Structure 1
Amino acid sequence: MRGNDYRMLRPPERFTPELRVSVIVPAYGAQDKLDLVLQALARQTYPAELTEIIVVDNGSTPPLRLPEGTAARLVVCEQPGRAPARNAGLGEATGDVIHWLDSDVVLTPGAIEAHMRWHHTAPYLSVTGYIRFTSAPLPAVLPDDLEAAFEPAQPHAWLVGLVERTDGLTNNPIRPFSLHVGGATSVSARLVRAAGPMDDDLIVGQDTEMGYRLYQAGAVFVPEPQARAYHLGPTMRMRDQQRIDRVSHAFVADRIPAYQWLRTHPTRQWKVPNVTAVLDGTAGYETVRAGVDALLASTVTDLSVVLVGPWDTLDRDRRAPLKDPNLDLVLVHGHYEHESRVHLATTEEVHPSVPFVLRLPPGRVPGEDSLARLLALARAEGLGLIEVLPAEAPEGAVPARLERASSFARARLVARPGEPLDDAVAEVSGVRRVVAEEYGFGDEPGELLGRRAAYKARVQAQADAARLAKEAERLRGQVAKWRDEAARWRKSTVELRREVGTLRRQLRAAQRPQEGVRAVLARRMKRVLTGRTRG
């Protein structure tokens, strides 16, 4: 699948269920709602022998209980918070698919089956059902007709709007992972293992943060309207959205680089940077410094640099530095040891949540706006890889590479045996090769203007481009005007030629009678002359 376009998958209405699903229900109090949720789970059309239900009591007083005859397990989690409770259930789960379900969400009978149809088509999906919010009084026993009991209800307006704005999340959306909501979402267990458990350091926003890590692991996010459910009452966010957002935004900005709109500070650093550049720290002091310094002066400040080298082998007791065979390594280490954005690592160390990785070979020196332009291109076209090479690069030259981590994760999931990973990336998201000089790359360190000057240069370039575009538009208008003038002249010429032709015909017609009179006179004159001759 390319990007998040899951439409190539066509889950059948009828299929043979084979995958096991673990439904994890974290709960705190509200025994009456939990009873209804469990009754709804008992009515699911997906086979019971393939369904595992795990209820996690998150410190309820009195403790929660399972109704008699319920095919579920009860797990106790003393650590407060929804994320620890879900992780406790995750530790007990054995299914091929993890289905998150809140303890106040009642599923319609075919909901889990609607989820599982998708999971039988591909092993890297995150499927979210459609929730409606009801304020109807709670019945003692769940009725057969849920619609009659819980309607009228409100749709999940934010989720529906997101799906509608993005053509079902298929048109290269910026944040498809936002669909991962814990109320009624199922995820391949393989993806969950790759992404890791819920972040229990977060107070709110855990679902979205985990959705982002699933995206980084290669997930495709699918909305499924046939997987319907009723939320018993409003959510905490619906009751107090502004205050919840205030808390959420303070924490998730550090962990989700895709939320660039939350990262408005021009220079500060974040827990997870938007870009990590990886360079060979053994390429020589001047060469390494040219690349690193250019990156640190970039208009993209939300970045980190990893310098890979045998730093642990350096001799700390250096009394004769000029005789040190590792002098260049020593200089690189000393120059960047205390720069907070540069990490000296013996092996490549990139945080798994970093969305973009720039691999910069020795001798490639980016301009101060080069990285910003590459990122803009990658986002605009949904590219998984951009290779940067000089116009006159020799055969076998190593390009600089901007890699999208989520695309490479997906490629690893779907690549055929022996298939080059870049080829798989080209299929799932696209690959472009650009000319280094056109994006400001050089082979020598240039004058570092500083971010403000580089930004001004970019703004000036954009203004110049706008001015040239305006001038080109004016000239196109002038050309169109001249074409209209030429067309009018051509039309006038044709009409003039027609008038001249008409006049010529009229003149010839007028000349014919005169020619006839002259011919008669000539004949008569000839007869007269002939008679005189005879006489």
Structure 2
Amino acid sequence: MSVTPLDPAGGGDVRRVRGNDYRVLQPPDLFTPELRVSVIIPAYGAQEKLDLVLQGLARQTYPAELTEIIVVDNGSSPPLRLPEGTAARLIVCDRPGRANARNAGLAEAKGDVIHWLDSDVVLTPGAVEAHMRWHHAAPYLSVTGYIRFTSAPLPAELPEDLEAAFEPAEPHTWLVGLVERTNGLIGHTARPFSLHVGGATSVGRRLVEAAGPMDDDLILGQDTEMGYRLAQAGAVFIPEPRARAYHLGPTMRMREQQRIDRVSHAFVADRIPAYQWLRTHPARQWKVPYVTAVVDGTAGYEAVRASVDALLAATVADLSVVVVGPWDTLDRDRRAPLKDPNLDLVLVHGHYEHEARVRLAATEEVDPSTPFVLRLPAGWAPGEDSLARLLALARNEALGLVEVLLRESPEGVVSARLERVSAFARARLVARPDESLDDVVDEVSGVRWVDAETYDFSDEPGELVGRRSAYKARVRAETEAARLAKEAERLREQVAKWRDEAARWRKSTVELRREVGTLRRELHAAQRDQRARRGMRAILAGRMKRALGRRTRN
């Protein structure tokens, strides 16, 4: 069986994956290879390892004419060289750092699929083909192979039997653990992008272009950060156990995990909002906010202020607000400001010009790395905890859109929309030109309507008392819920104890019944024996009486 690859530029119907449940794709083992793959290898020194990596690539079962190999020398001394007869290109990147080297290779790559490969990772012969069978099924995938870490001495030439040369080897325990905990990443997991590791991952070119190159400002954690941006662009993450590879020696993370985490966490927290466990400060701002609200700034000063001020007082502090309007057309030097036809715009601009969490923009400029966008009609104000509750609903049920029904009339429906950016990106990748994007979001993620009253939205906003009151109310509710959960657990334990006690009583009752039955049987037997003895005595007494009578007559 073969499958025709989908147009990487988005032509034709693209099979749709809900969440990260990639099982719907079901790529065949046999397919017609048509997509070109660019293997990008950043390298610094270790010529002997690079030689083995290139030998492993020369043995791949995926067609050589569809495989482009780019080695990026990242400032090695002496410079790296390509072994004679190697079907690869060597380029030089003078800027230090693996992210810069990968970006240099990416700029040269011509493939439909980008395959990251480290210069100390030897692929088994079928690894690239195992990756590419997935990419022929859909153009929005990130596929990661399974790496094993070997400490075996390096051979001068790569042997035919890699297992004999490199085993025993240690598995990538973190990757294997992630896959097992999430049922192969098809279960509900908030961070499937963590699978994106630069050592042996392939990504559709269209996704890479949407996400952008690697972040060369990061010291460490570039692979995970790019994986996050790929997820925001709509990626599906797939572990492929048949794409096997051997890492020649341990990694730096295996040797220095705590020190690496210390450095990495200091930077990735700003860039990966999904890592909420790194964002423990209750009020500070981050480079990429968790949610951005968009408000029409032309709807009147009072209406805009009611909405924006309510958002800024919300319990969700990890938030930015974009107020959209023609700000560059304003003339604040007029001598008669009260007669200015744009007075309301001037007031909105002046009121929020110096608020750090508010951005005055001409268009809906939202950072694509922001996980959620709230589109709020001006004049409507959420309660202090409304946004937190909507976000919890979207997270817990993996929804792509939560729509709040604000008002319904013959003229139409007014609603606020909480959109998951990654779900809408996925929907745009697979939607046909005539389809409603919301309908596609419902198919690939899920849509839920809720009412304004339940989630405390109002067009008559009350006094803002600050996020602490709602926060305290939520803490009290969570504390009470915890208390009730603890009490429920105590009652469950008591019920279990009573059940055990009842079982013991039932057992004792059965045993007692058996003992009573035995005693009754013995009593009946004794009573039968007693009646028999009484009968025998009566017989004997009669005999004696008759014998005495005969003796008296004689």
| TM-score of the aligned structures, taking structure 2 as reference length | 0.84
Residue 267 of structure 2 corresponds to residue 241 of structure 1:
no
Distance 1:26 1:196 in 2: 18
Please name the residue that 1:419 is paired with. Answer: 435
Residue 143 of structure 2 corresponds to residue 127 of structure 1:
yes
Equivalent runs, 1:22-171 vs 2, <5 Å: 22-171=38-187
Is contact 1:356–1:402 with CA below 8 Å preserved after alignment?
A: yes
State the 1:443 CA deviation.
Answer: 1.1
Q: Which amino acid aligns with 1:359?
A: R
Q: Which amino acid aligns with 1:319?
A: R
State the 1:398 CA deviation.
Answer: 1.9
Q: Which amino acid aligns with 1:460?
A: R
Unmatched 5+ residue regions in structure 2?
1-16, 499-554
Deviations along 1:242-272, whole A, 9 cap, x unmatched? 1111110011111110011101111110000
Please name the residue that 2:396 is paired with. Answer: 380
Equivalent runs, 1:311-350 vs 2, <5 Å: 311-350=327-366
Distance 1:87 1:464 in 2: 52
Equivalent runs, 1:395-410 vs 2, <5 Å: 396-410=412-426
Figure out how many residues of one structure are paired with residues of the other and give that number: 479
Change beyond 3 A, Cα 1:25–1:471: closer
State the 1:446 CA deviation.
Answer: 1.6
Equivalent runs, 1:458-477 vs 2, <5 Å: 458-463=474-479
State the 1:471 CA deviation.
Answer: 9.5
Distance 2:111 2:483 in 1: 60
Please name the residue that 1:2 is paired with. Answer: 18
Is contact 2:111–2:205 with CA below 8 Å preserved after alignment?
A: yes
Q: Which amino acid aligns with 2:386?
A: S
Is contact 2:407–2:415 with CA below 8 Å preserved after alignment?
A: no
State the 1:319 CA deviation.
Answer: 2.5
Query: Which deviates more, 316-325 or 456-465?
Result: 456-465
Q: Report the secondary structure of 1:126's partner residue.
A: strand
Residue 269 of structure 2 corresponds to residue 258 of structure 1:
no
Change beyond 3 A, Cα 1:475–1:243: closer
| TM-score of the aligned structures, taking structure 1 as reference length | 0.87
Residue 237 of structure 2 corresponds to residue 221 of structure 1:
yes
Instruction: Give the 4+ runs in structure 1 shifted more than 3 A.
Output: 390-395, 461-478
Is contact 2:314–2:467 with CA below 8 Å preserved after alignment?
A: yes
Residue 194 of structure 2 corresponds to residue 178 of structure 1:
yes
Q: Which amino acid aligns with 2:420?
A: R
State the 1:2 CA deviation.
Answer: 0.5
Q: Report the secondary structure of 2:246's partner residue.
A: strand
Distance 1:258 1:51 in 2: 35
Distance 1:439 1:264 in 2: 25
Is contact 2:380–2:461 with CA below 8 Å preserved after alignment?
A: no
State the 1:392 CA deviation.
Answer: 6.1
Query: Which deviates more, 402-411 or 320-329?
Result: 320-329
Distance 1:416 1:275 in 2: 28
Change beyond 3 A, Cα 1:178–1:335: same
Is contact 2:408–2:414 with CA below 8 Å preserved after alignment?
A: no
Is contact 1:391–1:437 with CA below 8 Å preserved after alignment?
A: no
Distance 1:467 1:67 in 2: 68
Is contact 1:391–1:435 with CA below 8 Å preserved after alignment?
A: no
Change beyond 3 A, Cα 1:268–1:393: farther
Please name the residue that 2:523 is paired with. Answer: none
Unmatched 5+ residue regions in structure 1?
482-535
Q: Which amino acid aligns with 2:290?
A: N
Distance 2:243 2:488 in 1: 53
Deviations along 1:394-435, whole A, 9 cap, x unmatched? 651221000000000000001122000000000000000001
Equivalent runs, 1:434-473 vs 2, <5 Å: 434-463=450-479
State the 1:453 CA deviation.
Answer: 1.4
Q: Report the secondary structure of 1:399's partner residue.
A: strand
State the 1:389 CA deviation.
Answer: 1.0
What root-mean-square deviation, in Å, do the aligned CA atoms of Structure 1 and Structure 2 show? 2.0
Residue 383 of structure 2 corresponds to residue 367 of structure 1:
yes
